[in-house]
Structure 1
Amino acid sequence: MSESLSSVPHYEQQYLNLMRQIWEQGDERIDRTGVGTRSVFGAQLRFDLSDGRMPLLTTKRVFWKTATRELLWFLTGDTNIRALCAQGVEIWTDWPLDRYRKASGDDISRTDFSARIVDDAAFAAQWGDLGPVYGKQWVNWPIYEPAGDGLFRQRASGVNQVADVVQSLRINPGSRRHIVEGWNVAEIDQMALPPCHKTYQFHVAGNRLNGVLYQRSCDVALGLPFNLWGAALFIRMLAQQCDLESGELVWMGGDTHLYLNHADLVQAQIEREPAGDPRLVITRRPDSIFGYRIEDFEVTGYAPQGHLSAPVAV
């Protein structure tokens, strides 16, 4: 029995295999950023989330609290980086910073830009907004209604897709419409970055909640570790709110790529051996999925190998 168990590959091995496949066999191409990538199309990864398991990478440190703060921010519907910067979360800062530098000619550092975003509400309102990105679409997808003379006006409040999914999971678990969608075609041009992790679908089998994340574009080295954590956490939170057990996360990638300037990270990481079995405990059940706080999440058994860094392509 112990022999067969030891022969089961570590859950992270499929991530490393994907990384190796892209680096060794991917199509090399020029991308939007000008950096260049190696890319494959139509990747899939699967992770068991039962008994608190999470797809938290061990071959490098993943800052799961940062990824958690991002998901909680999405659920507020906020699209300004001010709340993130106030928590020390800088994963969205590069896009507003780039826009500010180009418009003003001020070569301000990211640290100083973030500090000003936090300290100056007017500056944050002008330069910190990302447009109608993830959270806006998740909890306030716009609705338009006739206003006369062939014109339409936007309602004050739109569709809360997340609240609707919670309700549908509770009253109609067999539905094939448990979907949260971020790709609002009419508003793509207003977004700092069109949604990469664009479509979530959920499926109830018995008392287990499974989830699929389809990602149109995926930076495997820097983005995917966060995306896997966020998607798994989303499933865990929905399961708790709907009195279900967590089942499986299925991740699917469209353009799944590694940036050419990530060579050092890739080579170092694929040489490492994954180990460990991190688990997540949600210590409190709030009244709604919108009531979670960072203090509600505890990870045990996580002993990652050394941090690996690489530049973000903006």
Structure 2
Amino acid sequence: MNKVDKEYQKLGHYILENGAKKEDRTGTGTISTFGYQMRFDLKKEGFPLLTTKRVAFRLIVSELLWFLKGDTNLRYLLQNNNHIWDEWGFKHWVESPDYSGPDMTDFGLRSQTDEEFNVLYQEQLTIYQEKILNDDEFSKKYGDLGNVYGKQWRSWEGADGQVYDQIQYIIDEIKRNPDSRRLIVNAWSASELASQLLPPCHYAFQFYVVEGKLSCMFSMRSVDYFLGLPYNISSYALLTYLIAHECGLEVGELIFTGADVHIYSNHIEQVKEQLSREPRSLPTIKLNSEKKSVFDFEIEDIELIGYDPHPTIKAPVAV
């Protein structure tokens, strides 16, 4: 039985039945609950990519590799047709003195209800994407998202003035001392929040080694149940597979711990549709065994096998 979709659906029902209505930064409104945990056995249950709707695995892979490269600029993602982060960079541009196009105030909400505006928005977004890809100066200024995940994971700046590669530390420490209780990566840097276009939602994770298996628990301050969480679950599962591969371990458990777990008010019907669907068998993944280091992997080195989900369910992103 596919317990991954079942646990995910259980959480969806819980939020709808017990959540409180809350306003939020985006102005969209949510149904929210505080504090929830899910556990997935990566070894027994298959790769945790939801089957009750199609989730774009290639986007998960390219985003994770972007983090692992220590990159914070959108160009790599756009080169790989990944648009997960576009809206935050676009917002930075249209709110700057350098922008002279049509008014894009509240573009996230307006594009959902005003067809005429949506045409203008899509035109400006395309201009933005092309400039990120082809204009080095523009890309440097408006394609960089600030000190987000890639920077924190690979180039954490300490109070001592030193720069720390947290991912390399984790790998080295697992190999040296697998029983360590300090296998932690932290992406929440209070002194750098102002320099991040979106402060980290999944802000910390910790590994645990026992009986030759690597488990991972990741913690999130803010959880978009419908759009974000399916990607987060699969991304941290993939990270666990990659770290285990380099360290000569099998995979164990993936544990999600969420603080403010919410459904946006304009996602409720989509959530109900997904909750009505029967889970299918989970896929598996295959890593290129010739790649030894986590940092050597490219998109084509990670193969998804046997994925047969229900159709995609579209919903707007709250920016």
Normalization by structure 1: what TM-score?
Answer: 0.91
In structure 2, the residue matched to 1:38 is 31
SS at match of 2:152: helix
SS at match of 1:249: strand
Tell me the distance in 1 between the aligned counterparts of 2:55 and 2:147: 27
1:254 to 232, 244, 259: 259
SS at match of 1:12: helix
1:22 aligns with 2:15: yes
Tell me the distance in 2 between the aligned counterparts of 1:164 and 1:286: 19
Tell me the distance in 1 between the aligned counterparts of 2:101 and 2:13: 40
Structure 1 residue 21 displacement after superposition: 1.3
1:213 to 206, 218, 225: 218
Structure 1 residue 112 displacement after superposition: 2.5
In structure 2, the residue matched to 1:106 is 101
Question: In the TM superposition, what whole-angstrom CA distance separates every residue of 1:90-126 from its partner, at most 9, and x where no partner exists?
Answer: 1111011012112224245322211111011111111
Counterpart residue type for residue 123 of structure 1: F
Gaps of at least 5 residues in structure 1 are 1-7, 146-153
Tell me the distance in 2 between the aligned counterparts of 1:52 and 1:253: 21
SS at match of 2:179: coil
1:79 aligns with 2:79: no
1:63 aligns with 2:56: yes
Structure 1 residue 38 displacement after superposition: 0.6
1:128 aligns with 2:121: no
SS at match of 1:267: helix
Structure 1 residue 170 displacement after superposition: 0.4
Tell me the distance in 1 between the aligned counterparts of 2:188 and 2:43: 30
Tell me the distance in 2 between the aligned counterparts of 1:105 and 1:265: 36
Which aligned pairs between 1:180-219 and structure 2 lie closer than 5 A? 180-219=185-224
CA RMSD of aligned residues (A): 1.4
Q: Given that residues 205 and 217 in structure 2 are in contact (C-alpha distance below 8 angstroms), is that contact kept between their aligned partners in structure 1?
A: yes
Q: Given that residues 214 and 253 in structure 2 are in contact (C-alpha distance below 8 angstroms), is that contact kept between their aligned partners in structure 1?
A: yes
Structure 1 residue 51 displacement after superposition: 6.0
Q: Given that residues 61 and 235 in structure 2 are in contact (C-alpha distance below 8 angstroms), is that contact kept between their aligned partners in structure 1?
A: yes
SS at match of 2:157: coil
Tell me the distance in 2 between the aligned counterparts of 1:163 and 1:67: 21
Which aligned pairs between 1:167-178 and structure 2 lie closer than 5 A? 167-178=172-183
Tell me the distance in 2 between the aligned counterparts of 1:276 and 1:53: 8
1:270 to 272, 275, 282: 275
Counterpart residue type for residue 106 of structure 1: G
Structure 1 residue 9 displacement after superposition: 6.0
In structure 1, the residue matched to 2:111 is none
SS at match of 2:188: coil
Gaps of at least 5 residues in structure 2 are 103-122
Structure 1 residue 142 displacement after superposition: 1.1
Question: In the TM superposition, what whole-angstrom CA distance separates every residue of 1:156-214 from its partner, at most 9, and x where no partner exists?
Answer: xx100000000000010000000111001110111000100111100001101111011
Tell me the distance in 2 between the aligned counterparts of 1:261 and 1:52: 32
Q: Given that residues 48 and 54 in structure 1 are in contact (C-alpha distance below 8 angstroms), is that contact kept between their aligned partners in structure 2?
A: no
Counterpart residue type for residue 148 of structure 2: V
More off after superposition, 83-92 vs 50-59: 50-59
Change in CA separation of 1:271 and 1:172 when aligned onto 2, cut-off 3 Å? same
Which aligned pairs between 1:233-312 and structure 2 lie closer than 5 A? 233-312=238-317
Aligned structure 1 segments of 4 or more residues deviating by more than 3 angstroms: none
Q: Given that residues 75 and 133 in structure 2 are in contact (C-alpha distance below 8 angstroms), is that contact kept between their aligned partners in structure 1?
A: yes
Tell me the distance in 1 between the aligned counterparts of 2:89 and 2:226: 22
1:12 aligns with 2:5: yes
Counterpart residue type for residue 55 of structure 1: P
Structure 1 residue 14 displacement after superposition: 0.8
In structure 1, the residue matched to 2:119 is none
SS at match of 2:314: coil
The count of aligned residue pairs is 297
SS at match of 1:200: strand
In structure 1, the residue matched to 2:131 is 116
Tell me the distance in 2 between the aligned counterparts of 1:9 and 1:64: 18
Counterpart residue type for residue 309 of structure 2: P
